[in-house]
């Protein structure tokens, strides 16, 4: 019975792909490279054209025209660290409607190597991907591989974790050279990244050093960039969690804007800092009149929890990326509008509802029981849940875009929170959403006082609530 269910499910998934491929092909110009960098005869368009289509409060809907087509924002960008989304082909990503994904310069330089990418004409050709690519500079590895790294003014020297004893020096110039070879549509400058959990008093010197060095390194990146007519270089605002007037975030923000780059990122977050500090940094960087430029894209690096993304779209962020949706899928967790389903749990053994009741995704006919029976046991389970989670994230951002354009975004946010925290309600109620959510949305003019009990006696729910067969039975 399980085998028949898998076969039937794969047939359905194939049907979904076939049904979607024509629309996806149209969105990507039928697989041919669009002329975003061309323009009329005798003229050359810049490699990035930003068109702000609508605002609703601080939330924005825009079109970012890049060398490999239009990207509609707000947008979630799946992470394909070494040129592939694990379990997904480039055709799969196109079918899902994805128009931009990520690669990582540090890892691509190790495998397949920039020399190989240069020989084959770049990462687009290697992975047969006609959409856009954004590459991280490798700076994040200063935090994730800190024990294997030595950071100096010249750059950062890594030991390859898979090749003990080997050394690799990543300088701003080398990072840009590698990204030019990779052929990314958007390249991130190499920045000096410190953990967001550093003590602002004890580690004050290191935090300030990293903020200043990031500005020196962006100038070196700009000088090293040899293809500004076809590739975009984004700068990254640092400054740790210092949001006070005249503090390090404000300093980094103002100095980075002076470089007049095609776009900007907010870096140094999503590293374990308190959410009350997290949202205040994002708010400062997107504050009307004082934050990042209104007519350029704003990218919040490494943020992928649905709740975080909704709040940050409300604050005015355009672009997001994170490994979370794909990584958590490989461990048997599906994302749904009421949080997450940990399908390894025995409670789903006899739950014959689809992953998302009433949903329209590619797995809308797959039962939770079917997934439970194969998750972590069959390789196809990881692929199926990855499909679902990526569809969930891309669809979530599309819904927000449509709500912004329809000027109904506050209502959409309020309904999202009611669905995401179904156990919370108006007073009296024993639980409430995280209080940082209320504080952040108040700044955006989205009231929540009537929806939930915010009294001191109400216990805060986690940022990523757990759905279950018991509390979601229909």
In tens, the pLDDT along 408-417 reads 999 999 999 9
Comparing 140 with 294, the larger pLDDT belongs to: 294
Judge whether residue 426 has pLDDT over 80: yes
Judge whether residue 41 has pLDDT over 70: no
Average pLDDT, the chain: 89
The lowest-confidence range among 287-301, 427-441, 458-472 is 458-472
β-strand pairing of 339-342 with 168-170: unpaired
Judge whether residue 44 has pLDDT over 90: no
Judge whether residue 15 has pLDDT over 60: no
Comparing 149 with 392, the larger pLDDT belongs to: 392
Exposed (0-12), middle (13-18) or buried (19+): which is 420, by Cβ within 10 Å?
Answer: buried
In tens, the pLDDT along 261-276 reads 999 999 999 989 999 9
Enzyme catalytic residues: 136, 321
In tens, the pLDDT along 178-231 reads 999 999 999 999 999 999 999 999 999 999 999 999 999 999 999 999 999 999
User: Rounded CA gap, 209 and 7, in Å?
Assistant: 57
Confidence (pLDDT) at 306: 97
Confidence (pLDDT) at 26: 45
Confidence of residue 42 (pLDDT cuts 50, 70, 90): low
Confidence (pLDDT) at 309: 98
């Amino acid at each position: 019975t399980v085998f028949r269910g898998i076969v039937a499910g794969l047939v359905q998934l194939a049907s979904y792909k076939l049904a979607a491929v024509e629309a996806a092909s149209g969105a990507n110009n039928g697989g041919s490279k669009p002329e975003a960098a061309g323009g009329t005869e005798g003229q050359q368009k810049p490699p990035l054209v930003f068109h702000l289509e609508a605002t609703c409060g601080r939330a924005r809907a825009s079109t970012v025209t890049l060398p490999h087509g239009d990207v509609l924002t707000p947008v979630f960008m799946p992470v394909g660290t070494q040129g592939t989304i694990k379990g997904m082909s480039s055709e799969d990503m196109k079918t899902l409607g994805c128009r931009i994904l990520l690669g990582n310069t540090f890892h691509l330089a190790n495998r397949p190597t920039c020399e190989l990418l240069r020989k084959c004409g770049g990462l687009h050709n290697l992975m047969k991907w006609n959409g856009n690519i954004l590459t991280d500079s490798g700076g994040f590895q200063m935090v994730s591989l800190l024990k294997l790294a030595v950071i100096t003014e010249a750059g950062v020297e890594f030991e390859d974790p898979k090749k003990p004893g080997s050394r690799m020096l990543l300088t701003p110039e080398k990072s840009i050279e590698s990204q030019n070879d990779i052929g990314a549509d958007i390249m991130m400058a190499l920045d000096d990244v410190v953990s967001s959990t550093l003590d602002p008093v004890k580690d004050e010197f290191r935090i300030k050093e990293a903020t200043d060095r990031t500005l020196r390194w962006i100038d070196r990146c700009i000088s090293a960039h040899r293809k500004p007519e076809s590739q975009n270089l984004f700068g990254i605002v640092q400054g740790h969690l210092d949001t006070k007037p005249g503090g390090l975030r404000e300093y980094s923000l103002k100095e980075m804007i002076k470089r007049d780059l095609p776009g900007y990122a907010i870096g140094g977050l999503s590293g374990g800092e308190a959410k009350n500090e997290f949202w205040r940094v994002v708010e400062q960087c997107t504050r009307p009149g004082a934050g990042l430029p209104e007519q350029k894209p704003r990218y919040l690096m490494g943020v992928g929890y649905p709740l975080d993304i909704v709040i940050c779209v409300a604050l005015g962020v355009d672009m997001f990326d994170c490994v979370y949706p794909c990584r958590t899928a490989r461990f048997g967790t599906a994302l749904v509008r009421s949080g997450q389903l940990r399908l390894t749990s025995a409670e789903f053994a006899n739950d014959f509802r689809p992953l998302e009741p009433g949903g329209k995704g590619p797995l809308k006919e797959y039962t939770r029981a079917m997934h439970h029976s194969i998750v972590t046991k069959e390789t196809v389970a990881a692929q199926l849940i990855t499909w679902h989670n990526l569809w969930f994230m891309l669809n979530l951002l599309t819904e927000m875009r449509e709500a912004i354009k329809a000027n109904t975004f506050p209502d959409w946010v309020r309904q999202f929170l009611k669905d995401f925290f179904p156990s919370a309600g108006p007073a009296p109620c024993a639980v409430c959403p995280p209080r940082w959510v209320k504080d952040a949305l108040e700044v955006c003019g989205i009231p929540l006082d009537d929806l939930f009990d915010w009294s001191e006696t109400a216990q805060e729910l986690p940022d990523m609530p757990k759905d279950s067969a018991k509390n979601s039975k229909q």
